[in-house]
Structure 1
Amino acid sequence: MRVGDSLPELVIDITPRLIVGAAIASRDYQNVHHDKAGAQALGSPDIFMNILTTNGLVGRYATDWAGPGARLGKVAIRLGAPNYPGDTMTFRGEIAAVEPSSRRVVLDVKGKNSMGYHVTGNVELILPEEVAA
């Protein structure tokens, strides 16, 4: 594991079920995340993913790569293009920093849809001993 190593891609289908279900699960009841007519009344072409769902998917991408024993540390993301139903988001990432003594790894992560980058940022992980070795 070295700085600059690429992570495998992860493709997420952006479905109405994902957007609505995750918004409700995160207790985000804003109509732009579950009511198409309400979202359109506010100028959006459709419902769109909330930041809590995006943050969770970023965490999933990092921990899918690192394995079940990894612990998420700091997650710092910036949102860009909205995720609308019917699109896909492709995650890509690379290792930005490795600290073997503390088992700390920092990943640069990007999630892109058909309109551009939906999310960019970095994730700090503490790897289990057996992975960090």
Structure 2
Amino acid sequence: MRGGGPRAGAVRVGTRLPPLEIEITRTLIVAGAIASRDYQDVHHDPESARRKGSPDIFMNILTTNGLVGRYVTDHFGPNAVLRKVAVRLGAPNRPGDTMVLTGTVEEADGDTVTVGVVGSNGIGRHVTGTVTLTLPGGCAG
């Protein structure tokens, strides 16, 4: 969403955020692991991942957490402040997958909004969770 995003008081429970498709590339997985200082070999070495039972490398939880936060702040704008991101992982994101993030406003109380988020890929739900944020006050616009 361009501009400042929805303002406090203009957000309604049940509002659905537009879906966001994210291509899961080998570069995204490795870069996310490096950026979050997660050097476990299953996030960058395909042979090590196979030896540990995975067909390929897979995304770490910190990268997923960041993508979930980005999804919500992209919708609510640069003045939204993340207060809490709580996620649970399911099906792994591997190179070649596309993850589709969807979200629904679950609570809207004053300037605080909680969004339920689901991210799915070709084999199932990769992530479920909630994001709580505060929005600037005032009239919608």
TM-score, normalised on structure 1? 0.95
Structure 2 match to 1:76: 86
Q: Which runs of 5+ in 1 are unaligned?
A: none
1:41-99 Cα deviation digits (max 9, x unpaired) = 11100000000000000000110011001000111111000000001000000000001
Structure 1 match to 2:21: 11
Q: CA deviation at 1:128?
A: 1.6
2:136 counterpart of 1:128:
yes
Amino-acid identity (%): 60
For the residue of structure 1 that corresponds to 2:95, the secondary structure is: coil
2:33 counterpart of 1:23:
yes
Given the alignment, which residue of 91, 106, 122 partners 1:96? 106
Letter in structure 2 aligned against 1:128? P
Q: Higher helix fraction: Structure 1 or Structure 2? A: 1
Q: Which runs of 5+ in 2 are unaligned?
A: 1-10
TM-score, normalised on structure 2? 0.90
Q: CA deviation at 1:130?
A: 4.8
2:38 counterpart of 1:50:
no
Q: CA deviation at 1:13?
A: 0.2
Structure 1 match to 2:121: 113
For the residue of structure 2 that corresponds to 1:76, the secondary structure is: strand
Q: 1:31 to 1:131 in 2, by over 3 A?
A: farther
**Aligned residue pairs, count:** 131
Q: For residues 109 and 80 of structure 2, what CA distance do their matches in structure 1 show? A: 14
Alpha-carbon RMSD = 1.3
Q: CA deviation at 1:132?
A: 6.3
| Large movers: runs of 4+ above 6 Å | none
For the residue of structure 2 that corresponds to 1:83, the secondary structure is: coil
Q: 1:80 to 1:132 in 2, by over 3 A?
A: farther
